[in-house]
Chain A
Amino acid sequence: MSTNDQSAAATAEERIVRITVNGTAMSGIAEPRLLLHDFLRHELELTGTHAGCEHGVCGACTIRLNGEVVRSCIMFAVQADGASIETVEGMANNGVLHPIQVAFQEEHGLQCGFCTPGMLMATQTLLEENPDPSEDEIREYLSGNICRCTGYVGIVASVKSAAKKLSVIQSNANGKA
């Protein structure tokens, strides 16, 4: 049994949180109560991730944390210490849109753009887990991401189109290999 003086102490002090964001090691200061979305947006100045409800329902704050879809509004920054995080800012490559982003533009998968970063993060994860999802699977997977503009029609079409684009890229890559 450990004794109290060997235990970590519980404090409200600010601390340094180190995370890898889009492949780059970053760090910032966080008191324990600082929510991860606030840490990303205001401490690391990555404002692409949005806050829509701050109680874990709307999905606007969706990021990828160690490869999984996570709501950054109901996670403290201190919980993410050491994690690898991906946000919308890391998706395009030197200004060249990712095929998922292209699909969202072509299929009118966004209007006001506020849900879009979260939708893209969720879509990317879905297509990694399931490269050829059915419409029902797409709708089930994205059901935690609210869009108030599109009625989801363009979003579902975008995900289907993105799946096709990615499978063509994959099969071309396999052909070359």
Chain B
Amino acid sequence: MKPAAFKYVRAATVPEAASLLAEYGDEAKVLAGGQSLIPMMSMRLARPEVLVDIARIPGLNEIEANGVLTIGATTTQSAVIRSDVVSAFAPIIGVALGHVGHVGNRSRGTFGGTVAHADPASEMPAVLLALDAEIIATGPSGQRTIAVEDFFVTTFETALADDEVLTSIRLLAPTGNACWSFNEVARRHGDYALVGVAATAELDGAGKVTKARIALSGVSDTPVRVKEAEESLIGKTLSDGAKVAGEIVSSSIDPPGDFHATKQYRIEVAGAIVTRALNEMADQKGTR
């Protein structure tokens, strides 16, 4: 189980990385923490000709909160979990990251990597969808902002162009009385979820939902929002709306089945954990 040969280059700057990616086109892959890419290469399921290592580009691993929260792409997942800034701004991120692999993966695995890898069963894509995040990508012609809704195309495929580097993830500050919840079922702790939910809501003074986002992992080829379920919550307290929202989720998703869990399982349990997440949500204040 050894990778095929490839050409390696360590980029010193983002423009250099982008220009290398432009040079090699779809033969090149970005290497950051490598926690998903390297196993696939060792199994020879991935055979990039060129790896552009962005892990040491200065400034790409910084976390800033300045009205908006910006997490640099190569910030390790461990560093994000340890960050007081992140946990103050969006506690759901650290909680959900605790389910991404194990400590020995998170020490190398990057925040940008777990997003750009676009595994529909992984936690962070669903969390960012629930948080209405923005993905910042940099290519040879400069930077652009991609709404999270538009970012995930299909399994392992994103809206990033071949010559673009995901450079940071940006979150807007919450606008109201916000709360959040994260829930998943995995075969074992640290495994990809059979099905998972990340949800956020804003409440009015009476505790009624004014805005909600419910995002699921493990039920499609991308993380998915269930807008009908979100809308069903508007004007209700979370506990009043939780059951119906869960039922809507179950009736509106079309998940895959595999030998770890049937399609029917994912349909039922997605609804159940959405209801559970919404019931737990009122106690989990904090931003989104």
Residues of chain A touching chain B, judged by Cβ–Cβ distance below 8 Å, are: 1-4, 7-12, 31-33, 35, 38, 54-56, 59, 62, 65, 68-71, 73-76, 78-79, 122, 125, 140-141, 143-145
Contact of B53 among A3, A9, A79 (CB under 8 A): A79
Comparing B12-20, B119-127, B201-209, the segment that makes contact with chain A is B12-20
Give me 9 A-to-B residue pairs in the complex whose CB atoms sit less than 8 angstroms apart, sorted by A's number: A2-B13, A4-B23, A11-B9, A35-B3, A55-B39, A70-B104, A75-B34, A143-B190, A144-B190
Question: In the complex, A33 Cα to B46 Cα: how many Å?
Answer: 13
Question: In the complex, A157 Cα to B113 Cα: how many Å?
Answer: 36
Residues of B within 8 A of A35 (CB): 2-3, 38, 42
**Restricting to B43-86, which residues have a CB under 8 Å from any CB of A?**
43, 50-53, 55, 78
Q: Known: A10-B52, A32-B51, A69-B104. Contact between A56 and B35, CB under 8 A?
A: yes
Residues of A within 8 A of B51 (CB): 10, 32
A55-B43 in contact (CB<8A): yes
A74-B42 in contact (CB<8A): yes
A75-B108 in contact (CB<8A): yes
* Distance from A140 Cβ to chain B, minimum over Cβ atoms (Å): 7
Q: Known: A10-B8, A70-B108, A75-B38. Contact between A144 and B15, CB under 8 A?
A: no
Q: Known: A33-B2, A56-B39, A74-B42. Contact between A11 and B101, CB under 8 A?
A: no
Q: Known: A33-B2, A54-B1. Contact between A143 and B102, CB under 8 A?
A: yes
Residues of A within 8 A of B35 (CB): 56, 74
B189 adjacent to chain A (CB < 8 Å): yes
Residue of A whose beta carbon sits closest to that of B39: A55
Kindly state the interface size class of chain B when it binds its partner: 35 or more
Residues of B within 8 A of A9 (CB): 9
Q: Known: A33-B6, A55-B42. Contact between A8 and B11, CB under 8 A?
A: yes
* Distance from A144 Cβ to chain B, minimum over Cβ atoms (Å): 2
Residues of chain B touching chain A, judged by Cβ–Cβ distance below 8 Å, are: 1-13, 15-16, 19-20, 23-24, 28, 31, 34-35, 38-39, 41-43, 50-53, 55, 78, 101-105, 107-108, 140, 188-190
Contact of A2 among B1, B16, B190 (CB under 8 A): B16
Q: Known: A10-B24, A10-B52. Contact between A78 and B8, CB under 8 A?
A: yes
Question: In the complex, A31 Cα to B102 Cα: how many Å?
Answer: 28
Residue of B whose beta carbon sits closest to that of A56: B39
Residues of B within 8 A of A76 (CB): 8, 34, 38
Question: In the complex, A33 Cα to B34 Cα: how many Å?
Answer: 12
Question: In the complex, A9 Cα to B50 Cα: how many Å?
Answer: 10
B103-A33 in contact (CB<8A): no
B103-A69 in contact (CB<8A): yes
* Distance from B97 Cβ to chain A, minimum over Cβ atoms (Å): 13
Question: In the complex, A68 Cα to B78 Cα: how many Å?
Answer: 9
Question: In the complex, A62 Cα to B38 Cα: how many Å?
Answer: 16
Question: In the complex, A109 Cα to B96 Cα: how many Å?
Answer: 31
| CB-based closest 8 A-B pairs | A144-B102, A32-B8, A10-B9, A55-B39, A10-B7, A68-B107, A74-B38, A54-B1
Residue of B whose beta carbon sits closest to that of A53: B1
A12-B5 in contact (CB<8A): yes
Q: Known: A71-B108, A143-B102. Contact between A4 and B39, CB under 8 A?
A: no
* Distance from B103 Cβ to chain A, minimum over Cβ atoms (Å): 5
Question: In the complex, A46 Cα to B35 Cα: how many Å?
Answer: 23
Residues of A within 8 A of B104 (CB): 56, 59, 62, 69-71, 122, 144-145
Residues of A within 8 A of B189 (CB): 140, 143
Residue of A whose beta carbon sits closest to that of B12: A8
B16-A7 in contact (CB<8A): yes
